[in-house]
A = this chain, B = another copy of it.
Amino acid sequence: MSRLKFEISLSLDGFVAGPNQSVEHPLGEGGEGLHDWVLKLEVWRRAHGREGGEVNVSTEVVEEATANDGATVMGRNMFGGGPGAWGEDPWTGWWGEEPPFHMPVFVLTHHDREPLEMEGGTTFHFVTDGIESALEQARAAADGKDVHLAGGAEAARQYLAAGLVDEMWLHVVPILLGAGARLFDETTAATPLEQVRVVEAPGVAHLRYRRAG
């Protein structure tokens, strides 16, 4: 059965980004450190075309979290661009000519657009009729493999609230932000969870949960 999975880094007080996100502070004020644990890993650097980096306990977690992925879903903020970028020189995402997905990616958006085929096996499909439709299309494309919800937090919250998330890895970082964008809110309380695995790694606690029952 094709599962919908996601993974996200969050502060110990539950924020996926600090307050006042901007071009200068894309992760909000104080949020810069949220992804340090992954950016320094060899496995992340290699996937993004860079050399060097660390191998530690987190490496296995990153590999496990993305193993068996057959398709990706992402929110419109994560893809970026906005409506103005759908013109003559259209926005093609943040990742250059060869994005690190290497699979079909279904982008939640309000703006219809033809599929966008990139190098290395990534094709962006634009879905305007909601999260359930995007998941259905991604499941079909995944052909028995899993669907990976790449983010951002808003998309993750919507899928959680709809009870559609089968598994998640939370990467809890020892930072207290005090304010910003939360992963969980009053809409996400419905799903009963089961703890699957807890992993201690340098500067981060990896917590894996699945939908119970």
Contact = CB atoms under 8 A, between A and B. Distances in A.
A143 to B, nearest CB: 31
Contacts of A201: 198
Number of copies: 2
Contacts of A170: 12
A189 B13 contact: yes
Interface in A166-213: 170, 172, 174-179, 184-191, 193-195, 197-201, 203-205, 207, 209
Contact of A175 (B187, B193, B203): B193
Nearest to A209: B174
B184 A12 contact: yes
A14 interface: yes
Contact of A178 (B14, B185, B205): B185
Contacts of A174: 193-195, 209
5 contacts: A178-B185, A178-B188, A197-B200, A198-B201, A198-B205
Interface of A: 12-14, 30, 170, 172, 174-179, 184-191, 193-195, 197-201, 203-205, 207, 209
